[in-house]
Amino acid sequence: PTLPKGSHFCLESISSGESFFTKQTLVVERDVLLAMGGFDPSFTSRVHTEFFLRLNPVCSLWGLPDITYHLSAYEGTRVSSSWHRRQQNFERLLSKHRALFMSHSRRAFADFVFNHAVMLNRNGQQLAAAKAWAQAFWIHPVQAIARLGSPYKQKLLQGLSSPNSLPGFLSNLR
């Protein structure tokens, strides 16, 4: 997405089809980078999120529609596979930027935490994902429940949108 200077990166609303996925692609003036202190070395994961939360208030972000980077999945041990490290950095991020998270809607904050739960679940860390979902529920119960049910609602709406698929869809409900 393109966000004006003064925005707060992943806490802003963006259009459907856009993403805050910003892996390893950045062009920024050196003076801006140095003035904001560069990357925070205390983070060993969530590095980009933390950086962009500090960068967007001091400069605009322009999202490019062209893919300029292809991520290759590494088969070995990754930072993202360490639940402890990932959770520690997530908590550090929330603590460092607490005032920023609290200044935005509870819905945006809950979505951010819920997305963390989804990532944990995708990496096979169900207990940690359940804890993160509970945290999202505590922040904004209605949004957390709505997000939890989204895949099921989507299937239901797809089934109801096509008259030809309705009988098969109904037979699967038994």
Q: Residue 172: its pLDDT value, please?
A: 44
Secondary element (H or E) of residue 108: helix 106-122
Q: Are residues 42 and 100 in the same domain?
A: yes
In a domain, 72, yes or no: no
CA angle 13, 17, 20 (to 5 degrees): 55
- The per-residue pLDDT for range 113-162, each reduced to its tens digit, is 999 999 888 888 889 899 999 999 999 998 888 888 766 556 555 555 55
Q: Are residues 86 and 37 in the same domain?
A: yes
Q: Residue 163: its pLDDT value, please?
A: 54
Q: Are residues 9 and 57 in the same domain?
A: yes
CA separation, residue 159 to residues 112, 146, 149, 168 (Å): 29, 19, 16, 9
Q: Are residues 100 and 134 in the same domain?
A: no
Nearest to 109 by CA among 121, 124, 93, 123: 93
User: What's the chain's average pLDDT?
Assistant: 81
pLDDT higher than 50, residue 76: yes
Q: Are residues 126 and 49 in the same domain?
A: no
Q: Are residues 7 and 20 in the same domain?
A: yes
- The per-residue pLDDT for range 31-65, each reduced to its tens digit, is 999 999 999 999 998 888 899 899 999 998 887 77
In a domain, 18, yes or no: yes
Q: What is the domain extent for residue 140?
A: 105-163
By CB neighbour count within 10 A (0-12 exposed, 13-18 middle, 19+ buried), where does 104 fall? middle
By CB neighbour count within 10 A (0-12 exposed, 13-18 middle, 19+ buried), where does 9 fall? buried
What would you measure as the largest C-alpha separation in the chain, in angstroms?
63
Looking at the structure of the chain, the number of domains it has is: 2
Instruction: Give mean pLDDT, residues 7-16.
Output: 80
Q: Residue 42: its pLDDT value, please?
A: 95
Percent of the chain with pLDDT over 70: 76
pLDDT higher than 60, residue 92: yes
In a 13 Å sphere around the CA of 4, the CA atoms on its Cβ side amount to: 1
Q: Sign of the C-alpha dihedral, residues 26, 99, 15, 17?
A: positive
